[in-house]
Structure 1
Amino acid sequence: MAHPFLVKDIAFQAGLSTATVDRVLNGRAGVRQQTEARVKAAIRELEKQQNGLEIQGQKRTIDVVMEAPERFTEAVRQAFETEAPTFMPTTFRCRFHFAETMRPHDIAQLLDRIRLRGTDGVVLKAPDVPEIVGAVARLEQAGIAVVTLVTDLPNSARTAYAGADNRAAGETAAYLIGERFAESSATVLVTISSSRFRGEEEREIGFRRVLREQYPAIRIIEISEGHGKDTETGALAAKALAAHADINAAYSIGGGNRAVLEAFERVGRDCALFIAHDLDHDNLALLRQRRIHFVLHHDLRSDARMTFRAILARQNGADQKLGGSRLSAVEVITPYNVPAV
C-alpha cells in the first residue's frame, strides 16, 4: 500500500497501534477488513491534509466516537469534514471511531486509550451507562473536552451537548400523527434502536406524552434493540405486524426504515403515515420516493460547528463549562422543502 507517510502518523490518524498499521501496510495475514479500512481512511485523510487543508495556525486533534449505523456515521463524517476548514487558521484533524454496535465496556476502554494517547477533544455518541459516564469523567479530569453529539449524557462531566431537542422532536412527531388520525383510529409502530440511548428515550417520552394528553385514542406498539440495522429491525417489525393487525403508521426513532417499510409490504398492509429522523442517504431517497412522509431533521453541520467552538473554548482557557444544551432546531422536511445537506 504505497504512501508517503510515517507509520506513526498513520497510526495516530487511525487510532491504531503502529504494529497493527505495519501489518496492514505490509499485507500480513490476520488483519480484519474493518482494520484495513480504517488504515486506508487514515491515509486518505492525511493526503487531504498534505494537499492543502493545513495552513499556519493552531492544530487540534479531535476523536469522534460513535455507536450508530453506517448510514448515520457517514453523514456525521461528512458534516465534520465539511465544517472543519471553516475554522482556519485553526486546523482540526478528525479521527473517527465508528461501529454499528459496541459494548459499553469497549467504548469506555476506547475512551481511556484516546485519553492516554492524547487528544484535544472527544465527540461522543454513546449509551448513557455508568461505565461510559466514568470514562467521560476521566477525560474531563485530564483537561480534555467531551462534547456529546445527538444523544446526551446529562449526568456526566461532559463539556457540552450538541444536537437537537429530542423531546421536542418526539412531541412534533406525535402532533403530526395525532392530527392525521384525529378523526380515525390508528396504531403506531414505534421503533427504537436501543433503550440505552438517552436521546431516543427523550424522543419516546415526548411522543408518548403528547399522544396521551391530546390524542388518547391512538395506540402505540414499540419495538427495540434492532440497533438501527435493517436485518434486526426488519425482523422485529415483521413480528409486531403479525401480532397486531391494526398497525397502520410508524414513527421511526431508531432507523432501519427500508426494512420496516418492507415488513409492511410483505404483509400487504399500507403504512398511512411514516415519520423518520435524519436526512441520511437512505431517508432522503425514501422521502423523494414518497415512501416516508416526513423527516424530522436537524443540521449536523450546525452541530459540528458548535462542537468545534466548544473544544476551542476549552482549549483556549475558558474558565467555565459551556454546559447545558446547545440545541439545534428540528425541521419538518417533506419532499418539497428538502434542504441542501
Structure 2
Amino acid sequence: MPHRYPVREIARQAGVSDATVDRVLHGRPGVREVTVRQVEQAIADLDRQRTQLRLSGRQFLIDLVMDTPRQFSRLVSDALEAELPALRPAVMRARYHVRERWEVASMVDELDAIGRRGSHAVVLKAPDVPEIEDAIRRLTAQRIPVITLVTDVVRSTRIAYVGMDNRAVGATAAYLMSRWLRHVAGDVLVITSGATFEGEGLREQGFREALRVHDPGRTVVAVSNSDGLDATCRRLVDTALDKHPGIVAVYSIGGGNRGIVDAFAASDRACEVFLGHDLSDMNRTLLASGHLSAILHHDLRSDMRAMAQVVMSHHGAIPEFRPRRSAIAVITPHNIPEY
C-alpha cells in the first residue's frame, strides 16, 4: 500500500497498533477487513491534511464523532479541512468516526475507546440521551474536552456548543412559510430524522411556536425517525401524503430531501413551499431546479474555525474563547454561494 508516512504516524491516525499497520501495509493475514479499511482511511486522511503537517506550531489531534447522513458528514469534513491551513498557531489533524445509523451503545463504545487512546478534543454530533452524557463525563474526567456540533447534549460536561440557535432557525422557517403560504390553504409537513437529537427538537419547537403567531390557523403534520435518508423519507412521506391530503408544504429538518421530492412527484401532488437545511450537493441541485424554495444555511467553515479556537483556548494556545451562535442565512435559487 503506497504511503509517505511513518508506521507510528499511520497507527496514531487510525487508532490501532504499529504492528497492525505493519501487517496491513505488507498484506499479511490476520487483520479484519474493517481494520484494513480503517488503516486505508487513515492514510487517505493524512494525504488530505499533509499541507497542515508542514506548519509549525503546537499540534492537536481531534476526533470527530458524528451520527449523521453521509452528505452532512462530508460537508463537515470538507469545511474542516478547508480551514486547517489557516489555523496557526495550531497544527490540527482530525480523525473521523462517522456513521449514518449509529446505535447509542456502539457510539458510547467508540467514545470510550477514544478516551483510552487519548485525544486533544472530541467534536460530537450525537443524541441527547443519558448514555452519551455519561460517556462525555468520562472523557471530561480523562481531561479530553468535548465540543458538541449542530445539536447539543445539554446536561453534559461538554465545554462548548458550536452551531446555530436552533430554536431561532425553526422560527425563521415558520416566518418564511407563513409569508409564502399567505394565500394558500393546507397543512405543513415537518419531518425530523430522530426524536433524540436536541437540535432538531428545538428547530421543530421554534417552528411551531412562531407558526402559531404568524399563521395560527395552519395545521402541522409531524413525521419523525426518518434517519435523514432519502429512502426512509420517501416511504414516510408517501404514507403521510396518503393520510393527510391537505399537505401543501414541507419543512425538512433532518434531510432526505430527494426522497421527499420523489414522494410528492409519485403522488402527483404540488409542494407549494419546501424549506430545508444544509448546502449539500443534492440540496444545491434541488434549489437550482426549483424543488426547494430555500435552504436555511450556516457557514460550516465558520463553525470549524470556532471549534478550533475553542480547542486551542482550552489547551492554553490562545486566550479564552467562547463561540457565538452561527449566523442564519436564507439561500434561494438566486443566491447559492460558490463552494
TM bucket (normalised to shorter chain) is over 0.9
- The aligned counterpart of 2:147 is 147
- 2 CA distance for matches of 1:17 and 1:274? 49
- The aligned counterpart of 1:327 is 325
CA displacement 1:53-79 (0-9 Å, x = unmatched)? 422211100000000000000000001
SS of 1:61's equivalent? Answer: strand
SS of 1:80's equivalent? Answer: helix
Distance of aligned partners of 1:20 and 1:272 in 2 relative to their CA distance in 1, 3 Å threshold: farther
- 2 CA distance for matches of 1:272 and 1:261? 12
- The aligned counterpart of 1:72 is 72
Percent identity between matched residues is 42
- The aligned counterpart of 2:206 is 206
Alignment of 1:287-326 (within 5 A): 287-316=287-316, 326=324
Alignment of 1:54-73 (within 5 A): 54-73=54-73
Letter in 1 for 2:188: V
Structure 1 unaligned spans of 5+: none
What TM-score, normalized by structure 1, do the two folds share? Answer: 0.92
CA displacement 1:10-42 (0-9 Å, x = unmatched)? 23212345566456442748744x654443231
Tell me, yes or no, if structure 1 residue 162 matches structure 2 residue 162: yes
What RMSD over aligned residues (CA atoms) do the two structures have, in Å? Answer: 2.1
Structure 2 unaligned spans of 5+: none
Letter in 2 for 1:69: P
Q: Give the Å deviation of 1:186.
A: 2.1
Asked whether the 8 Å contact 1:76–1:300 carries over to 2, the reply is yes
Q: Give the Å deviation of 1:50.
A: 4.6
Asked whether the 8 Å contact 1:249–1:272 carries over to 2, the reply is yes
Q: Give the Å deviation of 1:338.
A: 1.6
- The aligned counterpart of 1:183 is 183
- The aligned counterpart of 1:336 is 334
What TM-score, normalized by structure 2, do the two folds share? Answer: 0.93
- 1 CA distance for matches of 2:247 and 2:72? 27
- The aligned counterpart of 2:135 is 135
Comparing 176-185 with 113-122, which one deviates more in the overlay? 176-185
Letter in 1 for 2:172: T
Asked whether the 8 Å contact 2:49–2:81 carries over to 1, the reply is no
Comparing 16-25 with 244-253, which one deviates more in the overlay? 16-25
- 1 CA distance for matches of 2:43 and 2:194? 33
- The aligned counterpart of 2:252 is 252
CA displacement 1:244-296 (0-9 Å, x = unmatched)? 11111110000000001000000101111100001111111111111111000
Comparing 44-53 with 133-142, which one deviates more in the overlay? 44-53
Asked whether the 8 Å contact 2:126–2:197 carries over to 1, the reply is yes
- 1 CA distance for matches of 2:258 and 2:24? 35
Q: Give the Å deviation of 1:183.
A: 3.1
- 1 CA distance for matches of 2:144 and 2:101? 25
- 2 CA distance for matches of 1:278 and 1:247? 23
- The aligned counterpart of 1:91 is 91
